[in-house]
Amino acid sequence: MVSRPTAVIILAAGLGTRMKSDLPKVLHAVAGRPMLLHLMDTVAALAPERAAVVIGPGMDQVASAVAGHPLEASCVVQEERLGTGHAARQALPDLQGFEGDILILYGDSPLLTAATMDRLLAARAGDLDPGVVVLGFHADDPGAYGRLILGDGGNLDRIVEAADADSEELATGLCNSGVLAVDGARLADWVEAIGNINAKGEYYLTDLVGIAVAEGRECEVVEGDQAELLGVDSRAGLATAEAALQTRLRAAAMAGGATLADPDSVYFSYDTKLGRDVSIGPNVVFGPGVSVADHVEIRAFCHIDGAEIERGAIIGPFARLRPGAAIGPDVHIGNFVEIKNATLAAGAKANHLAYIGDASVGAGANIGAGTITCNYDGYLKSVTEIGAGAFIGSNTALVAPVRVGDGAVTGAGSVITRDVDAGALAVARGLQTEIPGWAAKQRAKQKPDQD
């Protein structure tokens, strides 16, 4: 990795009108994380000396997201959206005096990798000392992409926007991603020299190349993969980015020692952590904040979000683990069981049809089918404690706050409203009453008359 002084400008002021959303475009999530924060995570790996994010007016949500990120980037408002060159100009005061390499990136590009950024910086550090290095690609359908026009020596001569290109320039297959590495000592002067005499009347950052060349500086192209350079500006593009990132995450999971029975049906979050020898069945979805230890089996059709699963546990099929679920070693969570903000100690079992919320379940305890912890009274959440080795009979309702002691048993169908002592049996249901012959008499009454 190149170790020269580096600064970063991220352009994130776009309205994203094609998204048809009240949410700013760059905050739409891919693999559970806003696109802008994906890019900022990648940038942080480069450890830049300075970073600035350019946003539009009224984008307070974006400003809050930027302020909370470890990159510690400044946030600059572009009051009028007059083009990418104008946007970059807004960040220059925050980079005043910086003369290293400046990367200019786009907040709607969540798939861009640190390796590609490093290739750009390496080209900037080359013997020719290029003033501008542009990340280009060959597109299947160049369409509206700007074209990179090379000179006779193979260096970059200029960038032409598609709307301003002639037929010969449009025939060029090398396209502009918009991502640049620029000589920081000259960026301010070059940006000030950008004009707006073009089809849209905007200040194009792409004019930097022509300005640098006119000054006698070499400019270069580094080619990248079109899939990595996707800029998301529609819901369809968001889905494409999601699919691409999921492919990366699945490959990483399998490379790390997890078995995916049907990889294409498993969806990971950006921060999913998997141990070795984890087995994941089809149609499993991981939300943010999930950690899975070694030798865990997650069966089909589970949804797991904000949960920690320890070694040897078995989850599912059709289980739901919600935030705060802490699943201990060798715990079994079966079909149609939901766990929320609850700790299950080693060897505990809830094999089917149960809701355990705001609770602690002791080691080796067994939760019968149909059991629920009644944790919410319409105003407050309360806690249920189930002791080690306790046996909770089927269809027990545990009305919190309540505690069932170690080794205690609740009778099936009970509504438990008071604490149960260790080793005791608690039964709370109406007494069974039997009327001999009643069923036969009722059938006789209901039997239709025979002619």
- The residues annotated with a catalytic role in the active site are 352
Residue 188 DSSP SS3: helix
Q: Are strands 147-150 and 156-160 parallel, antiparallel or unpaired?
A: antiparallel
Joined together, the tokens standing for residue 425 give: 């049996």
Which positions ≥6 away from 413 have C-beta within 8 Å? 393, 394, 395, 396, 429
Query: At residue 223, what is the residue type?
Result: E
Alpha carbon dihedral 93, 98, 103, 105, in 10-degree steps, equals -20
Burial of 430 (0-12, 13-18, 19+ CB in 10 A): exposed
Residue 254 DSSP SS3: helix
State which H helix or E strand residue 35 sits in. Answer: helix 35-44
Q: How many CA atoms lie within 13 A of 428 on its CB side?
A: 17
Q: Measured between alpha carbons, how far is residue 309 from residues 25, 113, 136, 213, 280 in Å?
A: 34, 30, 43, 58, 13
DSSP track, 14-31: ---GGG--SS-GGGSEET
CB count, 10 Å around CB of 110?
Answer: 29
Give 251's DSSP letter.
H
Which positions ≥6 away from 24 have C-beta within 8 Å? 12, 16, 55, 56, 59, 61, 62
* Long-range contacts at 158-163 (CB < 8 A, ≥ 24 apart): 158/209, 158/210, 158/213, 159/134, 159/204, 159/206, 159/207, 159/209, 159/210, 160/206, 161/198, 161/199, 161/200, 161/204, 161/206, 163/198, 163/199, 163/200
CB count, 10 Å around CB of 57?
Answer: 11
Asked if 49 and 39 count as a contact pair (C-beta separation under 8 A), the reply is: no
CB count, 10 Å around CB of 163?
Answer: 10
